[in-house]
A and B are shown apart, each in its own frame.
Chain A
Amino acid sequence: MLNYTIRRLLLLIPTLFGITVVTFIIVNLAPGDPVELINRGEMDARISPAAYHQMLHLYGLDDPIHVRYFTWLKRVATLDFGTSFLDHRPVTQKIIERLPATLTLNVWSLLISLVLAIPLGLYSALRQHSRFDKLGGTALYLLYSLPEFWVALLLIMFFGVKLKILPINGMQSIDARTLGFWGYWWDRFVHMILPIFCLTYGSLAFLSRFVRGSSLEVIRQDYIRTARAKGLDETRIVYTHVFRNTLIPVLTLLGLLLPALISGSIILESIFSWPGVGNLFFNAVLARDYPVVMGLSTITAVVVLISTLLADLLYAWADPRVTYR
C-alpha cells in the first residue's frame, strides 16, 4: 500500500509537467494579445510599434514560447507564480484573497447537498417504484436540467426585485461592518442564500440519484438477503448494512468533487458578483492575464491529481475487498 502510494505520488510529477506544458501552449496560443486585451479594447491605437514592443518586453512576452515556459517553470518550482499583468500583485496573493469567498459558497453547498441527497437517495431506493420515488425522480431530473444562470435570474427577479426580501448581489452589504457581530453575520448569511441555492440544486439532484443507484445495488446483494433472512429488523438493515455500503462509492465521488471546491463557478460568481476564484479566472482569461491563468490552472491540476489519488486510497480504506499493490 505504501509502495503504491509512493509510486502514485512519483507519477504525479510527469503528469503535472504534461498538464502545464499543454495548458501553457493553449493559453499562449489563444487569440488575443495581453498588451492589447489588458486594456480591454480601450487601448490607444496611436501607440507606435516601438512602444508596443517595449510593452511586450516589459511583460516578458517577446521571448519565444519555450523560453517563456521554462522561465515560468523555474519560478513555479520555487512556488512563485509571478505577478499579474493587470495590477502587478503576486498571483498567489490574488488567489488567496479570492479563495475564502469560493470556499464558503462551495463547502456549504456541498454539505447541504450531501445532507439532503443521502437520505433522499436512500429513501427512494428502499421504496423503489413507489410514488415518492417516481415523483421525486422526475422532480430531481427536472431540477438537474434547469440551467443555473436562468434559475439565478428568475430568483433574483422574484426575491430581489418583486418581494425585496433577499439581497441579490455581492457577499455583504456596503456597511455590513457597522451592523454589529450578529448583524454582520446575518447580513453575510442572507447574501449567501440565493447563490448557495443555485449552486446546490443541480448537485443535489445528481448526488441523490447517485446514492439511489448505489443503494439499489447494495439492496440486491446476498448479505442483505441474509440479514433479512436471519430476522434483523428493517432499521438495523438499513443503517448498518445498506447505508454503510452505499457510502463507499459516494466517498470516491467526493474525492473527485474536491477540486470543484476551490475552482468556483464562473457563471454563478459572475451573476452574483461573488468575488471568488471562478470570477478571478474568468476575468484573467478575458484579459489574457497569463500568470493568473497559469497559476490557477496549475493549482487546480495539482488538486485534481491529489484528490484522484485520495479517492483511490479512500476506496481501498473503506472497502476491504480492494487492495492496491
Chain B
Amino acid sequence: MRRVFGPLVIIAALCAALSGCGKKAQQAQNAPSDSLLASATPRDGGTVIRRLDSECKTLNWVLYTTAYELFVLRHIYDPVLDYDVNGNLVPVLAAELPTVSPDHLRITVKLRSDAHWSDGVPITARDIKWTLDKVRDPKIPAINKAPYFEKLDHLEVVDDHTVVWVWKEAFAPAIYAITQLWPIPEHIYGQGDFLTNPANRKPVGSGPFTLDQWESGQYISLVRDPNYWGEKAHLDRIIFKVVEDDAVALNMLKAGELDEMRATQGQWEKQMTDPDFNAHFRKVDYYFPGYNFVAYNCRSVWFSDKRVRKAMTLLFDRESVNTKIYSGYARLVSGPFYINSWAYDKTVKPLPFDPSAARVLLAEAGWKDSNHDGVLDKDGKKFEFELNVIAGSAPAAQFSQLLQEECGKAGIRINIRSLEGSSFFDRIDKGDFDASMLGWRLDFDPDVYDTFCSTMTPPTGLNHGFYKNTKVDSLLVLGRKEFDQNKRAEIYHQVHRLIAEDQPYTFVNAVPDKRPVARKIQGIQISPMGPYDFWPGANYWWIDETDGRVASKR
C-alpha cells in the first residue's frame, strides 16, 4: 500500500479545476470496449512509441522504484506468477500454479524448464533465491519490495526448477508477494558491485523484448527478442521517449511522435475532442487500485463518536467534488478496497449528501450550540478542528473548502492547514492531527490489516487515526489466513460493511487514469490494474496501419 501526495492524480485534477465544469459524466469501465477488441489476427512488425514522464535511473528490476521504470521492465523481465486481464493468477516463468501445503506455510513453485535469459542461460530456482536475497539485503535500496517478504521465513531451492517459499505463519497475501518477485540473472548481476553493475543500464532479462539503445535523458528503445523462450512478441520495437512536459507530450502525440501518453483531465476534456483527434486516437480510461479520503483522528474529542464521523461524511458533498473537480470522471467509493476488486462490496452504497441528517446525528451525539455563537459545543468544548492538507495540491484545497463551507453551515468550524510535504506526512506518521486529506495507492491483494487493525497504530503502523473495532480486527486476522478467494471475499465484504458503518474515513472517490492511444495499436487489454500491470500487459500489442492514420514519417 502506498500513500500518495495528497489526493491522487494531482495534475489531472488541477487542470480540470482550471477548465471549470465539464460535460456529462463518463465512467471508465476497465473492460475492453468493442473498439479495443481485436477482430483481425495479430500481424508482426511495427513500432510503438510510448511516453516516459521522467528518465529511468536503472533497468535493474531490484533497484527500480518508479512506475515509469516498471513500464519498461514489464517488457524486459517476466514475472514467475502474475495476474491476467481478469485478475486471475497465471503462471509465467512458473510451469503451473503454485501448490500450497495444508498448513499454508509452504508454497511450492515449479519453474518451466524451457525458460531462459536473453543470453541463452537457463532460468533456475537459484536465480529466484539470489534475487530475493538481493531484495532483502540491507545494503541495497529495495525498500519498495522488501516489505512483501517480512513474513517469509526462508526460501528453499529443491532442485533447478523447484522453489519452496516457507512462511512464518499462514499468510494469504503471500501469493501476491510471490508475484512481486521477478528474478534477475545471478550470472550477470552477481559480478562485481551490484549498485554500479554495467548491466543495470544494459539488462539481461527474461521477457519478450530486449534493450536496443538507451540514450540518457532521451529515449529507451527495446526490440523483440527473436530467441525469447515463450510466444514471440509482434512488435519489432517499443520506444520509450522521455517527455517531461505534459503540453509538449500532447503536441508530440498530435505530430505523430508519440503513440500513447497519460492525459491530464484538462487535456482529456478540452484538447482531445475534435473529430480529427478521435479519428487517430482511442481514448482509453480505466481505474487503478486507489482512492481519496479524509482521515479522522478517532482519539480526538470530536471524532471518537462514530455518529460524528458519519455526520462529517453526510456534510461532504462528494458528488459535487466529482462534477466540479473531476467533471464526472471519478467514482464515489464507500469502503477501503479497490472498486474493481473482488473484495469490494458493491452492495454498500456511498452515504448521500444530507446536511439535515447530519445535524440530527450531531445533536444525538450531544453537539449543540448552547451559547448561540454559531459553533456547536459539548461540555464546554467547541467543535472547531484543523484539517491538514498537503501544500500545492489543488484538489486537496478544493475538497477541503467544500467541506469547510458545508460544515460551517452546520456549526462546525474547520481551520484548513496547508502543510508542506515532509511535515504533513510527519504528523500523519505520528498520528498527530485532527483530520487530514489523503489518498491511498493500493496493492492488488486486498489485505488492509496494516491500515485498519487497532494494533497497527502510530508510530509504527499505518492506522494513523487510531481506529478501533475488535470485530474488524478479528476479521482482518482471518482474512490474512484464508486462502480460498471466495471465503476471503466474504470476510472482506464484512470488513467493508463494518468500516462503512464506522466511517473512520470519509471515503471520497477513485479517479481513473486517462490515456489517448493511437488507433493503429491493436490488442490492448484492460485489466483491473490498467492496461500494463498484468500478464501479458502490453507485450503482445500489434500494429494495424489501416486502423486510423498511417504512421507518421518521424
Inter-subunit contact B54/A283 (CB<8 Å): yes
Q: Which of B139, B147, B216, B248 contacts A47 (CB 8 A)?
A: B147
Which residue of the partner chain B has the closest CB to A33?
Answer: B422
Please report which residues of chain A, range 19-49, place their CB below 8 angstroms from some CB of chain B when the two chains form the complex.
31-33, 35-36, 38-49
Query: Given A41-B4, A168-B255, are A275 and B196 neighbors across the interface (CB < 8 Å)?
Result: no
Per-position 1/0 for A152-176, Cβ under 8 A of B = 0100110011001001111111100
Inter-subunit contact B66/A156 (CB<8 Å): no
Which residue of the partner chain B has the closest CB to A174?
Answer: B239
Chain B hits for A280, CB < 8 A: 217
Inter-subunit contact A271/B1 (CB<8 Å): no
Q: Which of B145, B243, B422 contacts A169 (CB 8 A)?
A: B243
**In the assembly, what is the distance between CA of A279 and CA of B200, in Å?**
22
Nearest CB in chain B: distance from A170 CB, A: 5
Nearest CB in chain B: distance from A48 CB, A: 7
Q: Which of B57, B150, B218 contacts A273 (CB 8 A)?
A: B218
Query: Given A46-B462, A58-B139, A170-B218, are A41 and B5 neighbors across the interface (CB < 8 Å)?
Result: yes
**In the assembly, what is the distance between CA of A164 and CA of B554, in Å?**
9
Query: Given A161-B254, A164-B255, A168-B257, are A42 and B217 neighbors across the interface (CB < 8 Å)?
Result: no
Which residue of the partner chain B has the closest CB to A85?
Answer: B141
Q: Is B187 an interface residue (CB 8 A)?
A: no
**In the assembly, what is the distance between CA of A49 and CA of B147, in Å?**
12
Q: Is the interface on chain B under 10, 10 to 19, 20 to 34, or 35 or more residues?
A: 35 or more
Nearest CB in chain B: distance from A135 CB, A: 32
Inter-subunit contact B143/A87 (CB<8 Å): no
**In the assembly, what is the distance between CA of A274 and CA of B242, in Å?**
9
Chain A hits for B422, CB < 8 A: 31-33, 36
Q: Which of A157, A161, A270 contacts B244 (CB 8 A)?
A: A270
Per-position 1/0 for B238-261, Cβ under 8 A of A = 010111110110011011110000
**In the assembly, what is the distance between CA of A156 and CA of B139, in Å?**
45
Nearest CB in chain B: distance from A94 CB, A: 8
Inter-subunit contact B421/A39 (CB<8 Å): no
Chain B hits for A36, CB < 8 A: 422, 425
Which residue of the partner chain A has the closest CB to B219?
Answer: A174
Per-position 1/0 for A284-301, Cβ under 8 A of B = 000000000000000000
Count: A-B pairs, CB below 8 Å: 136
Inter-subunit contact B66/A170 (CB<8 Å): no
Per-position 1/0 for B134-168, Cβ under 8 A of A = 00001101011111001000000000000000000
Query: Given A45-B1, A87-B200, A283-B54, are A55 and B420 neighbors across the interface (CB < 8 Å)?
Result: no
Q: Is A98 an interface residue (CB 8 A)?
A: yes
Most buried by A among B200, B254, B450: B254
Query: Given A168-B251, A275-B216, are A42 and B196 neighbors across the interface (CB < 8 Å)?
Result: no
**In the assembly, what is the distance between CA of A51 and CA of B150, in Å?**
11
**In the assembly, what is the distance between CA of A274 and CA of B55, in Å?**
12
Chain B hits for A83, CB < 8 A: 196
Q: Which of A42, A272, A274 contacts B144 (CB 8 A)?
A: A42
Which residue of the partner chain B has the closest CB to A272?
Answer: B248
Please report which residues of chain A, range 68-122, place their CB below 8 angstroms from some CB of chain B when the two chains form the complex.
83, 86-89, 97-98, 101
Given contacts A31-B423, A88-B195, A271-B248, 12 further A-B contacts (CB under 8 A): A31-B421, A36-B422, A42-B144, A42-B441, A44-B2, A45-B3, A46-B147, A48-B147, A55-B143, A86-B57, A172-B215, A172-B218
Q: Which residues of B contact A (CB under 8 A)?
A: 1-5, 54-55, 57-58, 65-67, 138-139, 141, 143-147, 150, 195-196, 200, 215-219, 221, 239, 241-245, 247-248, 251-252, 254-257, 420-423, 425, 441, 450, 459-460, 462, 552, 554
Q: Which residues of A contact B (CB under 8 A)?
A: 31-33, 35-36, 38-49, 51-52, 54-55, 58, 83, 86-89, 97-98, 101, 153, 156-157, 160-161, 164, 167-174, 270-276, 279-280, 283
In the A-B complex, list the 4 residue pairs whose CB atoms are closest, starting with the nearest: A275-B217, A87-B57, A88-B195, A46-B147
10 A-B residue pairs with CB within 8 Å = A42-B66, A43-B65, A45-B1, A45-B3, A86-B57, A88-B195, A168-B252, A169-B243, A270-B244, A271-B248
